[in-house]
Structure formats: C-alpha cells, structure tokens
Amino acid sequence: MRYSDTRKEETRKAILRAAASAVRAKGPDGVGVAEIMAEAGLTHGGFYAHFRSKEALVAAAVEEAFAQSARRFARMTQGMSAPESLAAFVDAYVSPEHRAHPSRGCPLATLSSDLPRQGEAVRAAYERGVKGLIARLAGWLPGEAGDLHGLAASVAAEMAGAVALSRAIADDDEAIRLLADARARIKSRIGIFQ
C-alpha cells in the first residue's frame, strides 16, 4: 500500500472512531460533519474524500460502533465457556458502567429510538449489527439451535431496554436498582444462577 493510501485509511478510521462515539452519545441527528471532523483532528473540507454524504458516514459509524462493542466483548469473554461468556456479557451489558458511558456503549441501547427516522443505509447498518449481537447471544445459550434465536432476540431487547430505561432515570440509586433487578431476572430466565 502506498503511503497516501495508508494515510487515507488511517484518517478514515479516525473519523469513524469519532463518529461512532458521537452518534452513540448524541444520536444520528445530534451530530454534525464539522464536529466529527474536528473531533478526529481534521478540517471539514476533507470529509468528502472519505464519505459521499452524512448518511454514509452515519451508516459507517453505526457499523463501527457495533464492531467496537463486538471486539470489546470478544476480548472480555476470550477463553470462557459459553455459560461463562453469557454471564459475563449480561453482567457487563446491564451495568452501571454501561449506563454511565453511552458514547462507548452498545449502539443497540442508544440508537433504537432514533432509527425509524433514519435513511435506509443507516437502518440497514443497524439491523446488521443487531443481527450480529443476537447471533452472538444465541451461540452462548444452551439448547437447540432453532429455539435460540427468539430467546436471544428477547434477551437482547430486554438488556437494551433496561440500559435505556436506566439512562432516563435521574436518580442514580433507583437506576442502579433497576439494572440489578433486570440483570438478575435476565440471568434467571436464561438459566444462569450465580
């Protein structure tokens, strides 16, 4: 790869990291191209060398946000059995830390309510990310493969809903109780008794 190609790819990655964080923190409509470029240490003028439109950037940012979450959870569960991975995933996902850091968290919990108003490319990127998360959960669940997709989808929805609801509650103690209750009930429902 020529230096310029390498540099362009590094620049694109920096833009995507900034955009993935901004989109999770403020939603797709809450960020601007100039803000994202500045966060990446670049000027607004270079944007179109990397993306056709803001929608293309947001779609790529959603994909990057899901990829970041997947990499983080893969590192966290490396070397664990399926039941251990599932328990660790639920504990980390439905946690005060996840609640406190939406810009670093899973886009499922931060973007669900924004997606119906987005363009097709953004919705498609989000749907691919959701399907990947559900597949990861299904791979950790005990039981027959055909029965697991619905349970995994339900668990993903319950986890994301608990995190989203906890973020809407101003009282930290109440929000943390909600997360603890949700975490315990999710784990009980899927057969994790710890």
What mean pLDDT is predicted for residues 103-115? 91
> What pLDDT is stored for residue 145 in this prediction?
67
> What pLDDT is stored for residue 193 in this prediction?
63
Q: pLDDT of 73-92, one tens digit each? A: 999 999 999 999 999 999 99
Share of the chain above pLDDT 70, in %: 96
Looking at CATH, the fold of the domain delimited by 55-190 is given as Tetracycline Repressor; domain 2 (1.10.357)
pTM for this prediction: 0.88
The Cα–Cα gap between 71 and 143 comes to 25
The Cα–Cα gap between 152 and 125 comes to 19
Q: pLDDT of 121-161, one tens digit each? A: 999 999 999 999 999 999 999 887 677 999 999 999 999 99
What mean pLDDT is predicted for residues 50-67? 94
> What pLDDT is stored for residue 194 in this prediction?
55
> What pLDDT is stored for residue 3 in this prediction?
52
> What pLDDT is stored for residue 175 in this prediction?
98
The Cα–Cα gap between 172 and 176 comes to 6
> What pLDDT is stored for residue 140 in this prediction?
94
The pLDDT mean for the chain works out to 92
The Cα–Cα gap between 77 and 135 comes to 15
Q: Which residues contact 68 (CB under 8 A, 6 or more apart)?
A: 20, 104
What are the domain boundaries of the chain? 55-190
